[in-house]
A and B are shown apart, each in its own frame.
Chain A
Amino acid sequence: MSVLVYTESDQGRFKKTAFEVASLGKAIADQLGTTVTAITINAGDTSELGNYGVNKILTINNSALEAFNAKIYASVIQQAAEKEGTKVVVVSSSVNSKYLAPLLSINLNAGYATNVLEAPVSSSPFIVKRSAFTNKAFEMFQINTDIKILGVSKNSFGIKENKTTAASEDFSPSIPDSGIHIVSVDKASNKVTIADADIVVSAGRGLKGPENWGMIEEMADVLGAATACSKPVSDLGWRPHSEHVGQTGKPVASNLYIGIGISGAIQHLAGINASKVKVVINTDPEAPFFKAADYGVVGDAFVVVPQLIEKLKAFKAHQ
């Protein structure tokens, strides 16, 4: 009966979203009067999960699961759900969780809600609040199946501490054939990713050319932030497509989003709207971004940004 949470890890360390998933799982378990079971795959030390309300940990250590494979992972989580008699499964909104969850949904005959923002509004009928229309609306979404899968939107429910004693149990699911084989992985290991970043520093065409991105990268370094860019910038080839944020690019749900030389087209704003605090730096006071931002500086990026970097360095030095 317990709520099953899939707590993702990368190279033996939990991702921040794992604790968010556990926190939401705990809130749902409280509503339903049940407990939280976490499933971990090659996660290393799992004791941290006890800080977020997890009662039981199904620990899988299997070298065959070293690399993510959606079909295999979906099968593994399905086996855990069936073993636990789970009625609610919670996953994150990571690229991998969004890849496996639809497969899991078919495996378990479970209705699936993505982009869930908070604990269910009602448990009978089961209704959750999710974002839709690329953050331009919220949808009250009812799931009618016996088993439900929730994909929690990043940085929405948040991480809630809840000390428990989590009992660990080894779990050895069967591993199905997958039909998909990894040829190569190309991943920058030392860079903060847009998906994981608390702060994103993003710039647009106002920067005039790719040669001017040094100061954007420097500001990101000072803040421990990820770098991003607007659509025209990636279309012009000034920055890689992987940095394009907006409606057809990557979604951003950081704590702080700093947009520099970005006018704020509706498609851009839609993609970054889930960020908690938005700062705009732009020469044009009429730029639409000022209507969407919390803080704004009307000024030339080439003057403001270098000064801001120096001041941020001084601020960080005193922290």
Chain B
Amino acid sequence: MKILVCISHVPDTTSKINFTDDNTKFDTNGVQYIINPNDEFGLTRSMWFKEKQGAHVTVVNVGGAETEPTLRKALAIGADAAIRVNTPATDGFSVAKQLAKVVQDGGYDLIIAGRESLDYNGGMVPGMIAGITNSNFVNNCISLEVEGNSATVTREIDGGKETVSTNLPLIIGGQKGIVEESDLRIPNMRGIMMARQKPLTIVEPIDVAPETASVKFEKPAPKGAVKLVSPDNLDELINLLHNEAKVI
């Protein structure tokens, strides 16, 4: 089985979010970058396929050279090869078009991307790849089994879960649940050393016109101070929630 895991290079979850250039650009100053957590769950599941069922795992990112440490980390975790499409990630559509080209050129059976990235929260790339390549697609995946050419996938739905059967090639929008948090792997020294020897191929982008653009950012207004209510006066809390906040 040939697996492609799409890796988004995102600010660490605890990063301070600031903007520069008159609030038009994300301020990368002092920001640590990580593998997008929703992607890392999928990467970890692909390691399981590799070890238990035999699979060749390629990771891919659309971005500049600054994203390569994130791809190297994925190689250190155990991916066999990496591809970087050499163009900035401008919008969800253009990223999906670049990734769809990689999917089609590589003849992958299973493509796993996170349900959304932690930075722009677009949540559209996996579905768009499926639309462009006309492949089967399951979003919000919390369990994935593959047997030959067929897959059994469970997705989260509002208030529960749904299990479906489908065939490869298959695109997955992954999230926590596809593996557990405790299954995530920290690269060890051997993995890091081996990652240096693994191929990281730079692919030139295809021409795509973005459909959307980021114009400007704003930060939420600072919040007022918390109103503290004494634990001996809980009637006051109910009064505030009923008469002031009007939520009960």
> Are A133 and B119 within 8 A (Cβ)?
yes
Which of A44-52, A81-89, A160-168, A181-189 binds B?
A: A181-189
B179-201 interface bits toward A, Cβ cutoff 8 Å, 1 = contact, 0 = none:
01110000000000000000000
Residue from A103, A115, A180, A184 in contact with B127 in the complex, judged by beta carbons closer than 8 Å? A103
Q: Which of B131, B167, B227, B238 interacts with A179 by CB under 8 Å? A: B167
Q: How far is the CB of A30 from chain B (nearest CB, A)?
A: 23
Indicate if the CB atoms of A183 and B212 lie closer than 8 Å. no
Residues of B within 8 A of A94 (CB): 158
Mask: chain A, 84-103; 1 = CB below 8 Å from B; 0 = not: 00000000001110111111
CB neighbours (8 Å) of A291 from chain B are 223, 226
Return the CB mask of A282-319 against B: 1 if under 8 Å, else 0.
00000000111111111110011001100110010000
Instruction: Please indicate the chain B residues that have their CB under 8 angstroms from the CB of A273 in the complex.
Output: 220
B123, A98: Cβ atoms under 8 Å?
A: yes
Q: Which residue of A lies closest to B162 (CB)?
A: A185
Q: Contact: B165 with A183, CB < 8 Å?
A: yes
The answer to whether B139 touches A138 (Cβ under 8 A) is: no
Q: Which single residue of chain A is at the shortest CB-CB distance from B119? A: A133
- Segment at the interface with B among A33-41, A204-212, A239-247: A239-247
- B29 interfacial by beta-carbon distance below 8 Å: no
Residue contact A143 to B228, C-beta cutoff 8 Å: no
Q: In the complex, which residue of chain A has the Cβ closest to the Cβ of B176? A: A248
**A99 and B140 in contact, given A195-B159, A249-B176, A296-B226 (Cβ under 8 angstroms):** yes
User: A137 near B211 (CB under 8 angstroms)?
Assistant: no
Nearest B residue (CB) for A179: B136
Q: Which residues of chain B have C-beta atoms less than 8 A from A299's C-beta?
A: 231
Is B123 a contact of A308 with CB atoms below 8 Å? no
| Cβ–Cβ < 8 Å partners of B125 in chain A | 102
Task: Evaluate contact between B121 and A134: CB separation under 8 angstroms.
Answer: yes
Complex contact B17–A266 (CB within 8 A): no
CA gap between A163 and B160 in the complex, in Å: 35
User: B160, B173, B210, B217: which contacts A140 (Cβ < 8 A)?
Assistant: B217
Asked if B176 contacts A114 (CB within 8 A), the reply is no
Number of chain A interface residues as a range: 35 or more
Is A141 close to B, CB under 8 A? yes
Complex partner residue of A96 from B93, B157, B248, CB under 8 angstroms: B157
The complex places the Cα of A131 from the Cα of B218 at a distance, in Å, of 9
Contact of A276 with B176 in the complex, beta carbons under 8 Å: no
Q: Quick check: A106 and B119 within 8 Å, CB to CB?
A: no
A19 within 8 A of B: no
How many contacts A-B (CB < 8 Å)? 256
Determine whether the beta carbon of A179 is less than 8 Å from that of B176: no
Chain B: which residue is nearest A115 at the CB level?
A: B121
CA distance A303 to B234 in the complex (A): 11
Contact of A105 with B by CB under 8 A: yes
Contact flag A267-B14 (CB < 8 Å), given A140-B218, A295-B241, A296-B229? yes
Q: Mark out the residues of chain B between 12 and 70 whose CB falls within 8 Å of any chain A CB in the assembled complex.
A: 13-14, 17, 19, 37-38
Question: Which chain B residue lies CB-closest to A281?
Answer: B231
B132 in contact with A106 (CB, 8 Å):
yes
- The reply on B101 being an interface residue by CB < 8 A is no
Residues facing B in A108-139 (CB within 8 A) are: 109-115, 127, 131-139
Whole-angstrom CA separation of A304 from B214 in the bound complex: 46
Q: How far is the CA of A195 from the CA of B130 in the complex (A)?
A: 25
Question: B238–A312 contact, CB under 8 A?
Answer: yes
Known: A137-B219, A182-B163, A303-B231. 18 other contacts (CB 8 A): A95-B156, A102-B96, A102-B127, A109-B211, A111-B91, A111-B211, A112-B212, A133-B118, A133-B119, A140-B218, A142-B214, A144-B213, A235-B181, A235-B182, A248-B38, A276-B245, A295-B241, A304-B234
- Interchain residue pairs with CB less than 8 A apart (9): A102-B127, A102-B131, A133-B119, A137-B220, A140-B215, A182-B162, A235-B180, A241-B177, A242-B161
